[in-house]
Amino acid sequence: MAKGKDYFGLGRLVSIILAIIPITAWICGIVTRIMDGKIVAAILRIIFGAWIIWLIDLILMIVSGHILRLLNI
């Protein structure tokens, strides 16, 4: 995965569009966390990611261009 970009190294505009749609944001968030080797973060994303983390990811993607990286495990 490219450094400084989220959602598979795609550009900021494409990542924001993917983050706006809840289903794609949830799936892309899970896949990117698994690709980073953060299995615990992926499991938490599955459990809590439907609305809470989606909203946080959306706001952070628009403001800073990055999704939430809360856990490093």
Residue 1 has pLDDT above 50, yes or no: no
What is the mean predicted confidence (pLDDT) over 39-50?
81
- When pLDDT is cut at 50, 70 and 90, the band that residue 70 belongs to is low
Residue 57 has pLDDT above 80, yes or no: no
Q: Which residues of 35-61 are buried (b: 16+ CB within 10 A; e: fewer)?
A: eeebeebbebbeeebeeebbeebbebb
- The pTM assigned to this predicted structure is 0.70
What is the mean predicted confidence (pLDDT) over 41-54?
79
